[in-house]
Structure 1
Amino acid sequence: MGKTVTTYLIDGDPQGIQYAFISNKICQMFVIPRSNLAYLNEQEKLHKPAFYILIGEDESTKPQAYIGETENFRERVKDHDNKKLFWQKALIFVSKDADLTKADVQYLEHKAIVSAKKANTFVLSDNEQVPKAPNLPEYRLDTIDEFFEDVKFLASFIGCNIFNLAKPKVEHLFYTKGRGCDATGFYNSDGFTVLKGSVIVPKMGPSFKWKEKREKMLREYTMFKGAKLIMTSDKTFSSPSTAADFCIGSSNNGWLVWKDKDGNTLDSVYRKQLE
């Protein structure tokens, strides 16, 4: 079923302040770069209870995030601006209609941290503990659960995959066994996802071009079980070839080395669709 998302660029800059919401929904997302925090002085909605995510890059291969809740984001972010160095922009979620309560945003924080840890796409160094979920009445649980589904959709809409879980289509699983690896994955609009449990080649060939980055990724996404190096979570790569290079430890044409159970290459399944 289709959805209509309204996005407004406050200052006309695609990389600047914006807000977005789904038609007929109460969840509203503000996206505010760290360099534009002065906007908080103008927006009264952000002086009220809110659920938020701070996102940014660090030296690791995964992006970093902090998930939190507050009764007043404008006041809370002052502390984050002074003490947290990594973040580059804030995603703040509020209600378009009646204000969220303190218990509502605490519940959203609980659900978000659980979901983000399960997805394992961001480093959550400052969210090591999962806060206890507050007791909400049943009618309110339904409302806030629906609100959180909209949070996940809007975050994904702007390219933040912090809650995204890989959803393979069984009929389109692909495999590669180059240099002794035994990896499984699938291809979709996000890229090529290598699935948890895949066996990865530890060593790299002499001509491998991104050794340092691969070594970091191996530390973050794999662990040895006996003599085998195993993926501990799903990982989506921008292209099938990058995924194959990571798994095999050498340069490959991913369109050819990924094959389904019938031996069809990824190329023959996807690139030939229009022929």
Structure 2
Amino acid sequence: MGKTVTTYLIDGDPKGTQYSFISNKICQMFVIPRSNLAYLNEQEKLHKPAFYILIGEDEATKPQAYIGETENFKERVKDHDSKKAFWQKALVFVSKDEDMTKADVQYLEYRAIAEAKQSNSFVLNENKQIPKAPNLPEHQRDAMEEFFEDIKFLSSFIGCNIFDIARPKEEHLFYTKGRGCDAKGYYNSAGFTVLKGSIVASDSVPSFRWTEKRNKMMKEYGVLNNAHYVLTSDLTFSSPSTAAMYCLGRPTNGWNEWKDKEGNTLDSVYRKQLE
């Protein structure tokens, strides 16, 4: 089923301050760069209970985030602005009806931290513990579950994959082996995802161009086990070739390298869609 998302670029800049919402839904997401916190003075909705994510996109292999809740984001972010150096923008989620309570946003924080830690796509160093779920009536808990699904959708809509958890179908799996590698994954609109438990080559060949970045990724997304690096979380790449090169530690064409159980290449399987 399709969805309609309305996005308004407040200053006309696609990377600037903006807000988005899904038609017929009450969840509204504000994207506020750290450089434009003055916008908070103009938006009364951000002086109310809110769930938020601070995002840092530095040179580290894995991006960093902080997940929180507050009764007044405008006041809360003052503390984050003075004490947290890593972040560049905030995603702030409020109700268009302005009827969320402190317990509601606490429940959203509880759900979000648990799911983000399971996804393991962002570093959450400052969210050391998963908070306990507040005591909500059943009908309100169900309403917040629906609200959280909209949070995940809107986050993904702007390219923030903090809650993405791979749920592949068996028939769509592709495999590659060689140089000690034994990896599997699948291809979709997000790119090529190498699945948790895959074994990647422990080193790279001399002609490999991004060895240093690969080594950092191996440490952040995997663990050394009997001289093999095993992925401890799913890892999505923008292209099948980048995924294959990471797994094998050598240059290769991922469209031909990844093969399904019957030996069909990724290229041949997806080329058939156009025939």
Same fold per superposition (TM over 0.5): yes
User: For 2:40 and 2:98, how far apart are their aligned partners in 1?
Assistant: 19
Report SS of the residue matched to 1:154. Answer: helix
Report SS of the residue matched to 2:46. Answer: helix
Report SS of the residue matched to 2:88. Answer: strand
User: For 1:25 and 1:265, how far apart are their aligned partners in 2?
Assistant: 41
- What do residues 248-267 of structure 1 show as CA deviations (whole Å, max 9, x unaligned)? 11111111111000010111
Q: Structure 1 stretches of 5 or more lacking a match?
A: none
Name the residue aligned to 1:265.
Answer: 265
User: For 1:40 and 1:133, how far apart are their aligned partners in 2?
Assistant: 29
Name the residue aligned to 1:238.
Answer: 238
Give the stretch that moved more between structures: 148-157 or 53-62: 53-62
Name the residue aligned to 2:35.
Answer: 35
- What do residues 122-161 of structure 1 show as CA deviations (whole Å, max 9, x unaligned)? 0001001111111011111011111101010111111111
Q: Output the amino acid matched with 1:191.
A: G
Q: Are 2:45 and 2:98, in contact at CA under 8 Å, matched by a contact in 1?
A: no
User: For 2:105 and 2:217, how far apart are their aligned partners in 1?
Assistant: 33
Give the stretch that moved more between structures: 70-79 or 162-171: 162-171
Name the residue aligned to 1:26.
Answer: 26
Name the residue aligned to 1:137.
Answer: 137
Q: Are 2:180 and 2:202, in contact at CA under 8 Å, matched by a contact in 1?
A: no
Q: How many residue pairs get matched? A: 275
Name the residue aligned to 2:274.
Answer: 274
Q: Output the amino acid matched with 1:92.
A: V
Q: Structure 2 stretches of 5 or more lacking a match?
A: none
| Post-superposition offset of 1:194 | 0.3
Q: Are 2:116 and 2:163, in contact at CA under 8 Å, matched by a contact in 1?
A: yes
User: For 1:231 and 1:137, how far apart are their aligned partners in 2?
Assistant: 39
User: For 2:81 and 2:159, how far apart are their aligned partners in 1?
Assistant: 23
Superposition RMSD on alpha carbons, in Å? 1.0
Name the residue aligned to 1:189.
Answer: 189
| Post-superposition offset of 1:98 | 3.6
User: For 2:53 and 2:25, how far apart are their aligned partners in 1?
Assistant: 20
| Post-superposition offset of 1:220 | 0.6
- What do residues 3-60 of structure 1 show as CA deviations (whole Å, max 9, x unaligned)? 1111111111111111111111111111111111100000000011100000012342
